[in-house]
Amino acid sequence: MSTLHHESLYETCFDESFDEYMRISGLTGDQMSEWVRINPFVLDRVEDMAYKKFQAMCQLRKWHTKPPHGGFFVYYIKVGGITCSN
């Protein structure tokens, strides 16, 4: 997955987190802008929320299979229809 695609996914997560914070706080768009101006730490909270959403979207699961020569291979698969790389 390209870096540009990751950035696009993160931007979507940020927008969703911003809207969620605004909704939970009962603020309109203008009120949220003023709240962010007065309390810049709010954007840190929104970014934390966005990062958690992004990580959940990109959570990798491991599948172990037994190769013919012994030992184990570890395969990473996509979860939720999205394949992510580290």
- H helices present in 1-86, as ranges: 3-25, 29-38, 41-57
Tell me if 84 is assigned to some domain: no
Tell me if 68 is assigned to some domain: no
Tell me if 21 is assigned to some domain: yes
Asked if residue 43 has pLDDT above 90, the reply is: yes
pTM of the model: 0.64
Count of domains for the chain:
1
Q: Encoding tokens for residue 47?
A: 């970014």
* Mean of pLDDT values over 57-73: 50
Tell me if 22 is assigned to some domain: yes
Q: Are 65 and 75 in contact (CB under 8 A)?
A: yes
Q: Please, which pLDDT band fits residue 83 given cuts at 50, 70 and 90?
A: very low
Tell me if 43 is assigned to some domain: yes
- Type of residue numbered 3: T
